[in-house]
Amino acid sequence: MKRLAIFASGNGSNAQAMIEASRQEKWEEQVVLVVCDQPSAYVIERARSLHVPVLAISPILFSTKQEYETCILQTLHSLQVDALILAGYMRLIGPTILHSYEGKIVNVHPSLLPYYPGLQAIERAFEAGEEELGISIHLVDEGMDTGPILQQVSVPRTEGMTLVEMQKAIQAVEHEWYPKTVRSWLDDQKNRGGTKHEKASVN
């Protein structure tokens, strides 16, 4: 897998961390597109300043989710994108994209799944008085923040910690661990490809 697209809806700090890590560490894989469903999101500005092409496309312009995703898919296919990285994309991936990228979509979520899937995960865990919060990085299936877990990292709540401090701590962990986990997932994919190739040449 050589060509990656990042999907995001908002601030885009994880998108930026991923693009920067891929460049600093000279990944063979390249982020060739940022897809954003909110035309005024800050992630668009971040992507442009990093010189990554953006597809900013609002679903309200389409009458069905299938039409919306078909339109995105055309761009993904024309750019020969191999895998998708969701980084704060606040929308369920529907069957149209899922079938085309089965097993090739990764997501980061700010909770220790299966606890607190969905929106406002940090706020809900914090208000419930959890002493250990954290992040999960997982493959995407049709559910909301479900799918096989690739990595979880816990973030302890220290005495007197405020919600804002906890949000910052969790984001810092995401910025470190999301690129690292995607990197090792990409390596696993490569190794699997290698194994298959070796078997094919032996037979």
C-beta of 104 vs 175, nearer to ligand GAR:
175
Instruction: Note whether 89 and 7 are within 8 A (CB).
Output: yes
Give the interface segment with ligand GAR, choosing from 7-15, 21-29, 64-72, 149-157 (CB under 6 A): 7-15
Token pair in block for residue 12: 């885009």
Residues 172 to 201 in contact with ligand GAR, rule: CB under 6 A: 174
Q: Can residue 136 be called a binding residue for ligand GAR (CB under 6 A)? A: no
Instruction: Note whether 130 and 161 are within 8 A (CB).
Output: no
109 is catalytic: yes
Among 6, 7, 12, 182, binds ligand GAR (CB under 6 A): 12
Residue 95: asked if its preceding bond is cis (omega within 30°), the reply is no
Q: Can residue 10 be called a binding residue for ligand GAR (CB under 6 A)? A: yes
**In the stretch 61-90, what mask flags binding to ligand GAR with x, by CB under 6 A?**
--------------------------xx--
Token pair in block for residue 103: 């097993």
Question: Per this entry, what is the length of the chain?
Answer: 203
Amino acid at 62: F
Catalytic residue among 77, 109, 175, 197: 109
Residue nearest to ligand GAR (CB): 88
Instruction: Note whether 94 and 85 are within 8 A (CB).
Output: no
Q: At what angle do helices 13-24 and 163-202 cross, to 10 degrees?
A: 50
Q: Can residue 105 be called a binding residue for ligand GAR (CB under 6 A)? A: no
> For residue 33, which phi and psi values (nearest 5 degrees)?
-160, 145
User: By the criterion CB under 6 A, which residues form the site for ligand GAR?
Assistant: 8, 10-14, 87-88, 108-110, 121, 145, 171, 174
Q: Which residues are annotated as a binding site?
A: 12-14, 65, 90-93, 107
